[in-house]
Chain A
Amino acid sequence: MTALLQVRGLHCAYGADEIIHGVDIEVSPGEIVTILGPNGCGKTTLVKSILGFVRATRGEIYFRDRELRQLRPTERAALGIGYVPQLLNTFKPLTIAENLEIGGYRLRRSERNAAMARMLALFPLLAERRSQLAGTLSGGERQVLAMARALIMSPCLLFLDEPSAGLSPLRAHEVFQHIRDIAATGTAIVIVEQDVQRALAISNRAYVLVTGQVVMQGPAASIATDERIGRAYLGAKMRGPVSKPPPLTPIAPA
């Protein structure tokens, strides 16, 4: 299976501050990959540089064997990369329908309408409130809207930056359920998550990032059980009371 996304020796910086110091990452079609790491280690920065919002100073980013570094974020998105940011994940003064329309901005009108209908069918919650402003949605509803907006283009790779942040366990559970459903359709997903156990439970593989470097990688199951991770790198996040993940159905092979 050839990699969908291949990042090699990536360095990125805000001005003179280098945040990512030579990271290698690979994502294969249809798989779910989790990126873990303590606060401020550079997870968001890494994702943003893959999407083109933060300048990569060195290294290579290949998506479907195409070098991305010369492309603007819009062009990268057009290649089929979806993104749900950690913060500001919707257009608040726009309605739900308008948010979805912007998600399908590059589609022709008929295609867009069809795609929107698909999304509204997939997320009945959104269908009920299509003319409500995104800014008036709850955090969980907004996360759903953000995913729907990103999915409308049927991306083959989707980045989710902390999709469960600030959500109640029940809402978080729903969101993870959605993520699994999305992956089931063949979309590869990269999750950045603080809710380590839950993320690992639905992931195929995981990377552990510490101060801008990958310190560990491997199958999600083995990382989930590796004690060193909790102690050394993930701190309180691992030790705190983790709500018991509900039983999951096995991941459908891609």
Chain B
Amino acid sequence: MNFAQVLVNSLITASELGIIAVGLTLTFSLLKFANFAHVETAVAGAYLAWTLNVRLGLNFAVSIAAAVLVMGLAGVVIDRLVFRIFRNADDVAPMIASLGLAIAIRYSMQAIFGPRFLRYDFGIAPGMRIVGAFVTRQQVWILGIVLLAIVGFHILLQYTTIGKAMRATSTNPELAQASGVNTEWVIAWVWFLGTAFAALGGALVAWDTQLVPELGFNLVIPVFCVVLIGGVGSVYGALLGALVVGLAVNFGVAVNFAPLANLIGGADWVSSLRIPADYKPAIVYLAVVLILLLRPSGFMRRELA
């Protein structure tokens, strides 16, 4: 096993999942329902960035920034048009609405952009060698951008008035209103940030891999697992969850379990015993089950803190 390489791969997986999961858990923390359309807005953001970059020929960074902003605003609009109706309903109605929305977005993307894979405008080259691991330029960028986004978000959440209002509204919406906090404005911010993070994550995943309409399908389970592991509604938990999932899936398939098996004995001596790569989704589930067994509500408390 090339330890450095697997670690790099884990960090990339974690940062891509993490940034999307933070957006998901953010909307959950305020609105208390699972937004299944979240990952599809990530895909929509990636397609929007592609349109700006490849179709309209804009600079790549500008395209991503614009897509992130536009999708953030789209999140606010979606809330006004769809989810606001369910503000005082239980959590099943908005969840089902989000499922419908997810399907609508996915098939719209397929109808508009076709089933074929798309790629942003850049060449593919071998990665640089850093302590034995191949790391591509875009991966370095992705790690940097995600780190920046997370630090920025942390500062916003902890030190700005709107951030504090978000945390307050998430823990006690009634008291926030009684304190004069305009919770609808706070919710609008949460949709903006949540959807913008989704779009950013989607664009980064697409940059790092490729853009296909089923991207959301591949992301939805890992992202929800990340959120579950971290503690639903907890932003910092989601980051931890992403790290757990990233490490688990990559080391899970990379580790040679033969020495362990030989130690336990029983079967014949083996030189190579690995978890097949197609068990990756199963590894994610296993991580979720193990962690929820140890900590039934995930790593962190379910509030924006």
List the interface of chain A (C-beta within 8 A of B): 51-53, 72-74, 77-78, 82-83, 85, 88-94, 98-99, 101-103, 105-106, 149-150, 153
Known: A88-B172, A91-B168. A102 touches B303 (CB 8 A): no
Is A93 touching B164 in the complex (CB atoms < 8 A)?
A: no
A105, B167: Cβ atoms closer than 8 Å:
no
B residues less than 8 Å from A51 (CB atoms) = 178
Residues of A within 8 A of B303 (CB): 93
Q: Once the chains are docked, how many angstroms separate the CA of A103 from the CA of B171?
A: 14
Cross-chain contact A94 with B167 (CB below 8 angstroms): yes
**Does B2 touch A at the CB level, under 8 Å?**
no
Task: Give me the interface of B with A, judged by CB distance under 8 Å.
Answer: 161, 164-165, 167-168, 171-172, 174-184, 301, 303-305
Chain A, Cβ-Cβ closest to B185: A74
A109 closest partner in B (C-beta) = B161
Q: What's the Cα separation between A136 and B161 when bound, in Å?
A: 22
* 28 A-B pairs in the complex with CB atoms less than 8 angstroms apart: A52-B177, A53-B177, A72-B177, A73-B177, A74-B177, A74-B180, A74-B183, A74-B184, A77-B177, A77-B179, A77-B180, A82-B178, A85-B175, A85-B178, A88-B174, A88-B175, A90-B172, A92-B171, A92-B172, A93-B171, A94-B164, A102-B165, A102-B176, A102-B179, A103-B179, A105-B161, A105-B179, A153-B179
Nearest chain B residue, comparing its CB with the CB of A82? B178
Cβ–Cβ < 8 Å partners of A88 in chain B: 172, 174-175
Q: Whole-angstrom distance between the alpha carbons of A90 and B176 in the complex?
A: 9
CB-CB nearest 8 A-B residue pairs:
A93-B305, A73-B177, A83-B178, A77-B180, A106-B180, A102-B168, A91-B168, A105-B181
Write out the residue numbers on chain A whose beta carbons fall within 8 Å of the beta carbon of B165. Answer: 102, 105
Q: Which of A53, A89, A91 has the most CB of B within 10 A?
A: A91
Given the known interface contacts A53-B174, A88-B174, A91-B167, the answer about A105 and B301 at a Cβ–Cβ threshold of 8 Å is no
CB-CB under 8 A for A98 and B164, given A85-B175, A88-B175: yes
CB neighbours (8 Å) of B181 from chain A are: 74, 102, 105
**In whole angstroms, what is the CA distance A51 to B184 when docked?**
17
* Contact pick for A101, options B164, B171, B172, B175, CB 8 Å: B164
Question: Would you call A73 and B161 a contact (CB within 8 A)?
Answer: no
Shortest distance between the CB of B211 and any CB in chain A (Å): 38
Question: Does the CB pair B301–A93 fall under 8 Å?
Answer: yes
Q: Which chain A positions have C-beta within 8 A of B171? A: 91-94
Q: Which residues of A contact B301 (CB under 8 A)?
A: 93
A150 to B176, CA, bound (A): 11
In the assembled complex, how far is the CB of residue B105 from the closest CB belonging to chain A, in whole angstroms?
31
For A98, the chain B residues whose CB sits under 8 A away are 164, 167-168
Contact of B180 among A53, A92, A105 (CB under 8 A): A105
Query: In the docked arrangement, what's the CA distance between A98 and B171, Å?
Result: 13
Closest to B183 in A: A74
Would you call B175 and A89 a contact (CB within 8 A)?
A: yes
Most B CB within 10 A of own CB, among A52, A72, A85, A102: A102
The complex places the Cα of A242 from the Cα of B168 at a distance, in Å, of 37
Q: Contact between A94 and B168 (Cβ–Cβ < 8 Å)?
A: yes
Q: Give the complex CA separation of A209 and B161 in angstroms.
A: 40
Q: Which residues of A contact B179 (CB under 8 A)?
A: 77, 102-103, 105, 149-150, 153
Residues of A contacting B184 in the complex (Cβ-Cβ under 8 angstroms): 74
CA distance A149 to B303 in the complex (A): 20
Closest beta carbon of chain A to B279's beta carbon, Å: 38
Distance A89 CA – B301 CA, assembled complex (angstroms): 19
- In the assembled complex, the CB of A50 is this many whole angstroms from the nearest CB of chain B, namely 11
The interface residues of chain A lying within 8 Å CB-to-CB of B180 are: 74, 77-78, 105-106, 153
A165 to chain B, nearest CB (A): 16
| A-chain residues with CB within 8 Å of residue B304 when the two chains form the complex | 93
Among residues of A, the one whose C-beta sits closest to the C-beta of B162 is: A105
CA distance A88 to B179 in the complex (A): 13
Query: Which among B171, B177, B179 has the greatest number of chain A C-beta atoms within 10 A?
Result: B179
Q: With CB as the reference atom, state the residue of chain A lying closest to B301.
A: A93
On chain B, the residues within 8 Å of A73 by CB distance are 174, 177-178
Within the complex, the shortest CB–CB distance from B89 to chain A, in Å, comes to 12
Q: Are A74 and B174 in contact (CB under 8 A)?
A: no
- Of B180, B181, B303, B305, most A-chain CB atoms within 10 Å: B180
In the complex, chain B residues whose CB is within 8 Å of the CB of A99:
168
B278 to chain A minimum Cβ distance, whole angstroms, is: 41
Q: Which chain B residue lies CB-closest to A134?
A: B171
CA distance A78 to B180 in the complex (A): 6
Residues of A contacting B177 in the complex (Cβ-Cβ under 8 angstroms): 52-53, 72-74, 77
Question: What is the chain B residue whose CB lies nearest that of A155?
Answer: B180
Docked complex Cα distance between A229 and B304 (Å)? 46
